[in-house]
Amino acid sequence: MAAIGTLVLASLSFALLVLFDTLVYRQSFFVSVKRMFLDDAYFNRSAWTLLVSALLLSCWYDLRERPFGQRLSARLFGRRKDTRWNRN
């Protein structure tokens, strides 16, 4: 469920940014959506890299909860004892 949760929160957060763009520049919502996804005015495309990383990370967390993911995790990183903060 972490992947779905992250996806929902990301979609809503980006919708909020588009809404503010519409309000600040007094333009239609669709123009703001287009600018959000296509314009590269200020920073480069690093935002999308971070967003995709967030989604992949949450997918990995979900996968790790399943038996197949646990086996894969054990093969990749070895079996480890639960860390102290996870026990807390």
Partner 1 sequence: MESKLTGLQLYAMMLVFLLGTSIIYGTPRLVPDSWLIDIAAIVPYLLLTGIYLALFWTGCDRNLYELLVAAWGKHFGKLFALGYSVYFLYIASRNLRDMVELILTALLRNTPSFVIVLAFVGIVAYAACGGIIALGRLSILIAGMVLFFFVVLTCLLYFSDSIDLERVLPFLSEGLGAVAGASLRSSIWFPYGEVLVFLAFGSSLGGAKTLRKIGLFSLLSATAILSFSNLLQTSVLGIENMKYSVFALLDAARLINIENFITRMDALVAFIIIFGVIVKSAIFLYASAKGAEFLFGSDWRGFAPSLALLIGALSIKVSRNNAEHVSEGLVYAIYWLHIPFQLAIPLATLLLLRLRLNHKEA
Report the interface residues with partner 1, using CB under 8 A.
1-2, 4-6, 8-10, 12-14, 16-17, 19-20, 23-24, 36, 39, 41-44, 46-51, 53-55, 57-58, 61-62, 65, 85-86, 88
Min dist CB 34 to partner 1, Å, is 14
DSSP string, 22-87: HHHHT--HHHHHHHHHH--SSS-THHHHHHHHHHHHHHHHHHHHSHHHHHHHHHHH---PPPHHHH
Min dist CB 79 to partner 1, Å, is 19
Min dist CB 51 to partner 1, Å, is 4
3, 51 contact by CB (below 8 A): no
